[in-house]
A and B are shown apart, each in its own frame.
Chain A
Amino acid sequence: MSRLRFARTPSGAVGLALLIAVIALALLGPFVAPNPPDEPIGVPLTGPSAGLPLGTDFLGRDVLSRVLFGGRSVLVLAGAATVLAYLLGAAVGLFAGHNRRFTDAFLMRGADIALSFPPLIFLLVLTTGLGTSVSVLVVGVALVQAPLVARIVRTATAEQAVRGFVEAAVARGERTTAIVRRELLPNVAPAIMADVGLRFTYSIILVASVNFLGLGLQPPSSDWALMISENRSGLDLNPLVILAPAALIALLTIAVNTVGDAIARSLGRSSVEAP
């Protein structure tokens, strides 16, 4: 199937393998963790030892187990936020792109204003007003990404809407929903696919950043970003407590972005955002 063509390129294959490995670790980690993530089990901030290959954190908990438990949160939260962003943004974008009138200009002006606000500050403002909760985080990240998705979908839709086969459908008097579903969506899909990697990567970055600032998931959660934040002062005693989660976040985001880039290139597009 041509959808998996990207997996045949060297970067696509490596990225995919890496991605599967990290996701597996994150999702299956809790089942193979040797120790519970929340229980102190040794002297705080000691280096690797026999039963604790990654040592202990600032409260004496097993770093390896915490790391195995800590990937789920960022994956699930970032995933949910991305899906929500697409539902919102694609709906707005399809609608705006097909109705090249006042609604389009209005919606895009709104998107432009939304995009002129620093995303992290948006999330911090929401957190100030609504408190630190998981749902605030997910909805907040979705709201940050939705205008970007809307813009991309709207541009792609507007491009397709003037093509002959769409106009032929209009001349046949087909209903708007039928035109969007049969003519526009299949031809807008490549533009969306080329962008998916970037969107998901950015969601992960935002979720992790808010967790890092201590304004997302709260202790005793073993979220990777939170781990880095909590153990900052113990750096010189057990660097692994920072290295392990940092490396895993890095591998995850690099893998997602590499796969996304390979998909975009297999579709003949660039995954680099246009100015």
Chain B
Amino acid sequence: MEAALALEDLRVELRNGVAIVEGVSISVAPGEILGLVGESGSGKTTVALALLGYCGRGVSITGGTVTVAGHRLDTADERATRRLRGRIVSYVPQDPASALNPALRIGASLRDMIDEHRDATTVVADPTATLGAVDLPSNDAFLRRFPHQLSGGQQQRVTIAVSLTCEPPLVVLDEPTTGLDVVTQARVLDELRRLRADRGLAMVYVTHDLAVVASLADRVAVMYAGRIVEEGATADVLKRPFHPYTRGLVESIPDHLHPHALQSMPGTTPGPGERPQGCAFEPRCPQRRPECVERVPPLEASATGRLVRCFAWRETPLVVLEPVPTSTSREAEALPLLRVEDLAAEHRSPRGPAVVAARGISFALARGGCTALVGESGSGKTTIARCVAGLHAPTAGQIVLDGTPLAALARGRTREERRRIQIIFQNPYDSLNPKRRIADEIARPARVLRGLSVAEARDEVAALLERVRLPARAGNRFPGELSGGERQRVAIARALAAGPDLLVCDEITSALDVSVQAAVLELLHELRRELGVAVLFISHDLGVVASIAETLLVLEHGLVCEEGATPTVLEAPAHPYTQRLLAAAPRLPDPDELGVSA
């Protein structure tokens, strides 16, 4: 039987000849799911679009062949390629809300797909069948709805239904669950598994999330800097990676069932145009040899059918997961650093009624300790964090710092109180003033909250840059010249410049790549160890909080539904919501064979 997908030696270039993706070859058998994994800059989305013979602006396919079920999609005949799109290979986008025409009813969107592909040779399924396949109603009332009247999960299932209309041999899914909450994501993944079982659908699932791939894909291909560096059966690759990058990735992925210290890889991914002559991973590789600099390693096949692009792959050690570092908090102390008592907060919109964001929130944070607030969006965790930082006025309850109640807003607090609590935000591209140099930005809290002189602040900035492992010359740069991970380090340095006792971290790694996230969390561990600073960590990711927090508070719709020591909550959850969250969160395969050191 012919392959669903035969991609050979794909090369995609920018207009100036710089390669975004090169030498990529993939094959997918009918009914098989291939996970295409990579971090930002790996080129995975470019490959995904190329599978439909499509390129973004300023980018073109300059080499290789794309063959889906025997049809070529890389020819110059745009009309022929267009007719194949949707019919032979279809696409499920990342953000369903923006991918559906807001002016068309659901029924109309589905019918467009049918009408555009209706001809003698194509089998076209009617809306009832495709909607039924994704567990959506197909009655008139539903078909007459507009996209904005559906939930995120429903929207995504509609786009999947559209992609199934012509019963294509291959479906390409580009991070389809990234914008959804964990429970909805689990449902969509279930749906996909069922579709594969029922219809023998072949899929290429593009994602950065190894845990999702582990739960869904038969085979996985790992991309780095525009090339495939490893490929093989999913369980094999994740349990025993051969490429040092894959290994580093596995070690940096959070796991909520078996928490471990997240290990990071030094350095950053090179962008297109920055790639060295030899192996792109060489500068960061612990196993590098002289030949790695001279030429790009070819893809070698192992005895078990694994493909690896590395000269030294036979020497790659087993994955070793370090246990979570011991806590540095002084729990025994009588007076906790921070106590939140019966806190309640609202959101008031200009015309609607006030929406309750949080109610009856009480918890304590010891000096040097780390407590995490975990929940989905809308759980109130960010609002509580902002109340602690003085950015949002609570409607009830109080926040007590070292026995003294704090004023609601930062304006009303004393300089000392403002100095002792510092907040770091989620979006690294928003948290720094684009018009100010890094050094000035970091120095500001030191000047304003500690009264340091210009000279003293300058020394402080140098020390802080070193502490967050940024080069000294970064101080002279503007935020636009730094990467997301670097900017987040600057945000941390700026918070530290005030000499705080408490860092409020509001989803500070949610917008970062997995390996970058591991590095930032490692930094946080170090800071706690060396400075004894306490951390209030807000996140939706159970695996991340498992690796960093001693105490967990699980929030749902503004209420605390479970609270306790991290291991207890994760291993023996009492509340049904927590149990649902834990069950839905995808995880890597059982690490029993991964050699966790005692």
A–B: direct contact at CB < 8 Å: yes
Q: Are the C-beta atoms of B433 and A183 separated by less than 8 Å?
A: yes
In the bound complex, residues from chain B placing their C-beta under 8 Å from that of A164 are 425, 427, 430-432, 491
Residue of A164, A169, A182, A183 with highest tally of chain B CB at under 10 A: A164
Given contacts A167-B391, A183-B433, A172 and B444 within 8 Å (CB-CB): yes
Pick the contact of A173 from B411, B430, B435, B441 — CB < 8 Å? B411
Residues of A within 8 Å of B425, CB to CB, are 164, 167-168
What CA separation (Å) do A182 and B448 show in the bound complex?
13
* Pairwise interchain contact A171-B432, C-beta atoms closer than 8 A: no
Partner of A172, one of B427, B432, B436, B445: B445
Nearest chain B CB to A158 CB, angstrom units: 12
- List, in ascending order, chain B residues with CB within 8 A of A182's CB: 433
**Given contacts A173-B418, A174-B448, A168 and B431 within 8 Å (CB-CB):** yes
- Least CB distance from B154 to A in Å reads 29
Contact of B449 among A170, A172, A186, A187 (CB under 8 A): A172
In the complex, what distance in Å separates the CA atom of A183 from the CA atom of B436?
Answer: 9
The majority secondary structure among interface residues of chain A is helix
Q: What's the nearest-Cβ distance from chain A to residue B451, in Å?
A: 13
Flag if B390 contacts A171 (CB, 8 Å). Answer: yes
Interface presence of B389 (CB below 8 A): yes
Contact yes or no, A171 B433, CB < 8 A: no
Task: Among A165, A171, A174, A187, find the residue whose CB has the most chain B CB atoms closer than 10 A.
Answer: A171
- Would you call A232 an interface residue if the criterion is a C-beta within 8 Å of the partner chain's C-beta atoms? no
Which residues of the other chain, A, contact B432 by a CB distance below 8 angstroms?
Answer: 164-165
B residues less than 8 Å from A163 (CB atoms): 430-431
Interface residues on A, range: 10 to 19
Contact of B410 with A by CB under 8 A: yes
Q: Per a CB cutoff under 8 Å, which of B350, B418, B427, B491 touches A171? A: B418
Alpha-carbon distance between A165 and B433 when the two chains are bound, in angstroms? 6
B423 interface hit (Cβ, 8 Å)? yes
Does B71 interact with chain A (Cβ within 8 Å)? Answer: no
- Please state if A168 and B350 are interface contacts (CB–CB under 8 Å): no
A176 — nearest CB in chain B belongs to which residue?
B411
B469 within 8 A of A: no
- A171 in contact with B410 given A163-B430, A164-B427, A164-B430 (CB within 8 Å): yes
Q: Is the CB of A187 within 8 A of B423?
A: no
Residue B434 at the chain A interface, CB threshold 8 Å? yes
Name B487's closest neighbour in chain A (CB-CB): A164
Q: Nearest Cβ distance between residue A102 and chain B, in whole angstroms?
A: 9
Chain A residue at minimum C-beta to C-beta distance from B440? A182
A105 at the interface (CB under 8 A from B): yes
Q: State how many angstroms separate the Cβ of B406 from the closest Cβ of chain A.
A: 12
Q: Is the CB of B418 within 8 A of A168?
A: no
Interface check B415, CB cutoff 8 A: yes
Question: In the complex, are the beta carbons of B418 and A172 less than 8 A apart?
Answer: yes
Give B185 Cβ to nearest chain A Cβ, in Å: 27
Q: Per a CB cutoff under 8 Å, which of B410, B413, B431, B449 touches A165?
A: B431
Q: Are B413 and A168 in contact (CB under 8 A)?
A: no
The proximity string for B residues 388-418 relative to A, scoring 1 for CB distances below 8 Å and 0 otherwise, is: 0111000000000000000000110101001
Closest CB in chain B relative to A110 CB, distance in Å: 16
For A165, list chain B residues within 8 Å (CB). Answer: 430-433, 441
Q: Determine the chain A residues whose CB is within 8 A of the CB of B445 once the complex forms.
A: 172
Q: Contact between A173 and B427 (Cβ–Cβ < 8 Å)?
A: no
Asked whether, in the complex, the Cβ of A170 is within 8 Å of the Cβ of B410, the reply is yes
B117 interface residue per 8 A CB criterion: no
Evaluate contact between B441 and A172: CB separation under 8 angstroms: no
Complex formed: what's the CA distance from A60 to B392 in Å?
Answer: 73
Kindly list chain B residues whose C-beta atoms are within 8 Å of the C-beta of A187.
433-435
Is there an interface contact between B448 and A172, defined as CB atoms closer than 8 Å?
Answer: yes
Would you call B44 an interface residue if the criterion is a C-beta within 8 Å of the partner chain's C-beta atoms?
no
Q: A164-B431, A165-B433, A187-B434 are in contact. Are A173 and B413 (CB under 8 A)?
A: yes
What 0/1 pattern do residues 175 to 199 of A give for CB contact below 8 A with B?
Answer: 0000000110011000000000000
Question: In the complex, are the beta carbons of A170 and B430 less than 8 A apart?
Answer: no
Name the A residues within 8 Å of B423 (CB-CB).
167-168, 171
Q: Which residues of A contact B449 (CB under 8 A)?
A: 172
Q: Provide the bound-state CA to CA distance between A173 and B444, in Å.
A: 12
Q: What residues on A are CB-neighbors of B390 within 8 Å?
A: 171, 173
> A183 to chain B: which residues have CB within 8 Å?
433
Q: From B506, which residue of chain A is reached at the shortest CB distance?
A: A164
Max chain A C-beta neighbours (<10 A), residue from B389, B435, B448: B435
- The 8 A CB mask of B432-473 against A (1 = contact, 0 = none) is 111110000100110011000000000000000000000000
With both chains docked as a complex, state the minimum distance between the C-beta of A83 and any C-beta of chain B, in angstroms.
Answer: 23
Residue of B nearest to A174 (CB): B448
Asked if B494 is an interface residue, CB under 8 A from chain A, the answer is yes
Q: Mark A39-60, 1 if CB is under 8 A from B, else 0.
A: 0000000000000000000000
Closest approach, in angstroms, between the C-beta of B384 and any C-beta of chain A?
Answer: 15
A contact residues around B389 at 8 Å (CB): 171
Interface positions, chain A 92-126, Cβ under 8 Å from B, are 105
Give the contacts of B112-128 with A (CB-CB under 8 A): none
| Contact A173 B415, CB 8 Å, known A164-B425, A168-B423 | yes
Q: Which residues of B contact A105 (CB under 8 A)?
A: 350
Given contact pairs A105-B350, A172-B418, A186 touches B391 in the complex (Cβ within 8 A): no
Q: Shortest CB–CB separation between residue B352 and chain A, in angstroms? A: 14
Q: How far is the CA of A173 from the CA of B425 in the complex (A)?
A: 17
Residues of A within 8 A of B415 (CB): 173
Q: How far is the CB of B202 from chain A (nearest CB, A)?
A: 42
Residues of A with C-beta under 8 A to B448: 172-174
With a CB–CB cut-off of 8 A, which chain B residues contact A173?
Answer: 390, 410-411, 413, 415, 418, 448
A165 to B413, CA, bound (A): 19
A168 to B423, CA, bound (A): 7
Query: In chain B, what residue has the closest Cβ to A105?
Result: B350
Q: Within the complex, what minimum Cβ distance (angstroms) separates B29 from chain A?
A: 46
For the complex, what is the distance from the CA of A167 to the CA of B410, rounded to whole Å?
A: 10
B212 to chain A, nearest CB (A): 29
Q: In chain A, residues 59-114, which have Cβ atoms closer than 8 Å to a Cβ of chain B?
A: 105
A172, B410: Cβ atoms under 8 Å?
A: yes
| A186 near B435: Cβ-Cβ < 8 Å | yes
A168 touches B494 (CB 8 A): yes
With A and B bound together, what is the CA distance between A170 and B431 in angstroms?
A: 13
- 9 sample A-B contacts, Cβ–Cβ < 8 Å, listed by A number: A165-B430, A165-B432, A167-B425, A168-B425, A169-B444, A171-B410, A172-B449, A174-B448, A187-B433
Interface positions of A (Cβ within 8 A of B): 105, 163-165, 167-174, 182-183, 186-187
* Shortest beta-carbon contacts, A-B, top 5: A164-B431, A164-B425, A186-B435, A164-B430, A165-B433
- Given A168-B431, A172-B444, A173-B411, 5 new contacts (CB under 8 A): A164-B425, A165-B433, A173-B448, A186-B436, A187-B433
